[in-house]
């Protein structure tokens, strides 16, 4: 498992994580996925990002945050 999957599994999909639990609740309620689905979610995100185009970039303390709009619409 790569670092990205660990972050998804142990943070975003972890209902026990102090900060990530809220994200985990949304993923479970909207997509019906949990921690065991981290690989699937990572693949789905990477696939969607490759199909989207960058609409703008915003400087961020950790680098540049890119906004990609339009994925998930077909």
pLDDT per residue over 16-62, tens digit each? Answer: 999 999 999 999 999 999 999 999 999 998 898 888 787 888 898 88
Choose among 57, 17, 67: nearest CA to 8.
17
Residue 64 domain-assigned (yes or no): yes
State residue 73's pLDDT score: 45
Residue 17 domain-assigned (yes or no): yes
Alpha-carbon torsion, ordered 34, 38, 39, 44, to 10 deg:
90
Residue 74 domain-assigned (yes or no): no
Residue 14 domain-assigned (yes or no): yes
Query: Domain limits at 57?
Result: 3-69
Question: In a 10 Å sphere around its CB, with 0-12 CB exposed, 13-18 middle and 19+ buried, how is residue 36 labelled?
Answer: exposed
Tell whether pTM > 0.75.
no
Provide the domain count of the chain.
1
């Amino acid at each position: 498992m790569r670092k990205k999957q660990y972050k998804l599994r142990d943070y975003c999909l972890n209902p026990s994580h102090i900060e990530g639990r809220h994200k985990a609740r949304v993923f479970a309620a909207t997509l019906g996925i949990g921690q065991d689905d981290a690989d699937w979610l990572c693949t789905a995100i990477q696939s969607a990002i490759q199909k989207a185009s960058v609409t703008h970039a915003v400087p961020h303390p950790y680098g540049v945050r890119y906004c990609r709009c339009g994925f998930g619409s077909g």
